[in-house]
Amino acid sequence: MQHFGSNLRRLRRERDLSQAEIARLANALTSDRTNPFCQAYLSLLERGMAPRDPAHVAVLARVLGTTEAALLKRPRVSRISVDSSARVNSEPVAMTA
């Protein structure tokens, strides 16, 4: 569930949308007239603290212009290699205002 939440947050932020904006857009797309999406629910989803409903995943993917698979996939982790001969410059750096 954690992958879903972090993907949801990342995609939402990439699109410069608030949780409230996502909720409004998602409610406009759903046939459920009880308006199941709200800022608090999206916050819980992003933090992995609410169970995800497959129908909600589909609606959120549509709102974010992505696929359900993209929301559910495990994020790629980039690997950083460190050259063992690399030196760290320990000279003080002057701070300017």
For 31-50, the pLDDT digits (tens) are 888 889 999 999 999 999 99
Task: Specify whether the CB–CB gap between 68 and 57 falls below 8 A.
Answer: yes
48 domain-assigned: yes
What is the rounded radius of gyration, in angstroms, for the C-alpha atoms of the chain?
Answer: 19
- Residue 20, in any domain of the structure: yes
In this prediction, residue 11 has a pLDDT band, given cuts at 50, 70 and 90, of very high
Does 83 map to a domain?
Answer: no
Question: Which tens digit of pLDDT belongs to each residue from 67-78?
Answer: 999 999 986 665
Q: What percent of the chain has pLDDT over 90?
A: 65
User: CATH number for the domain including 34?
Assistant: 1.10.260.40
Side chain identity, residue 28: A
Per the domain annotation, does 17 fall within a domain?
Answer: yes
Looking at the structure of the chain, the number of domains it has is 1
Q: Is residue 97 one of the residues assigned to a domain? A: no
Range of the domain at 31: 2-72
Task: State both tokens at 64.
Answer: 């974010």
